[in-house]
Amino acid sequence: MGNEVLINFWKDTIKKNVMLYPNERIAQFMGRKFSNSDNSNKKALDIGFGSGRHLKIALDYGFDTYGIDYFEECKIVAEKTFNDTNSLKNLYVGDYNNYDFGDIKFDLIIFCGTIFLTTEDKVYSGLNKLYNITNKDGKMIITFRSKDDYLYKQGKQVSKNSYLLDKKPYKNAMYTFYNKEEIEQLLDDTGFNIDYIEREDYWKDNLSSHNSWYIVSAVKK
């Protein structure tokens, strides 16, 4: 995750910005895939759930919902928000890549804004982990940073696509970037078929920062 300054930055961000409205693209994907299905006996896992905005959308669509995040602060915020919600089954604290979920397997994985916060080899092993905890034909909604993003190459290159950033407030954070073809190959190699893909580009900080994301819907083979 990086140094203590960076960790404190993310903790403060979580505490100060409790977001309950889902990402618009994630909401569209959920509507496209689950509006006409009965999800009452299905399980969803939100990885890196933060303050809980995608826990909420999984709950709204009727899933028995679970979440895992690196920070205890996220669990505290989300439990307070959803304390009377019976369909929220459990919130875990830890690294999903190493976490033992026991016999639980999921029908939906939501992985928004976090898988790329590590090196390429750990992205790959993480997707293998998700393959193992997803039911056959289970779905995954996942986002990747594109190589057109303003953070690409902003720091020390540690592998083909991974950089240790030197740009504040992300200094000493590890980021991995992909193009469309690399994402397609990566998911195919780890047992998933892409059934829908979009890209979102927007400029912030007085048009000085180009944010670029791929949003992918995939199905376990």
Give per-residue pLDDT as tens, 167-207.
888 888 899 999 999 999 999 999 999 999 999 999 999 99
**Burial classification of residue 125, based on how many CB atoms lie within 10 Å of its CB (0-12 exposed, 13-18 middle, 19 or more buried):** middle
Tokens at residue 163, please?
């950089």
Please write the tens of the pLDDT for every residue from 142-167. 999 999 999 999 999 999 999 999 98
Q: Is it the case that residue 71 has pLDDT exceeding 70?
A: yes
pTM of the model: 0.90
| pLDDT at site 217 | 96
Of residues 15 and 69, the one with the higher pLDDT is: 69
| pLDDT at site 194 | 97
State the chain's maximal CA–CA distance in angstroms: 48
Q: Is it the case that residue 219 has pLDDT exceeding 80?
A: yes
- Please state, for a pLDDT cut of 90, what percent of the chain lies above it: 76
Residue type present at position 102: G
Q: Is it the case that residue 57 has pLDDT exceeding 60?
A: yes
What are the structural domains of the chain? Answer: 4-147+177-220 (3.40.50.150)
HSE-up (13 A, CA, CB side) for residue 162: 15
- Please state, for a pLDDT cut of 70, what percent of the chain lies above it: 90
Comparing CA positions, the residue from 54, 61, 64 lying closest to residue 110 is: 54
Please write the tens of the pLDDT for every residue from 115-146. 999 999 999 999 999 999 999 999 999 999 99
Q: Is it the case that residue 51 has pLDDT exceeding 80?
A: yes
| DSSP annotation string for 15-33 | HH----SPPHHHHHHHHHH
| pLDDT at site 31 | 92
Please write the tens of the pLDDT for every residue from 7-18. 554 555 555 555
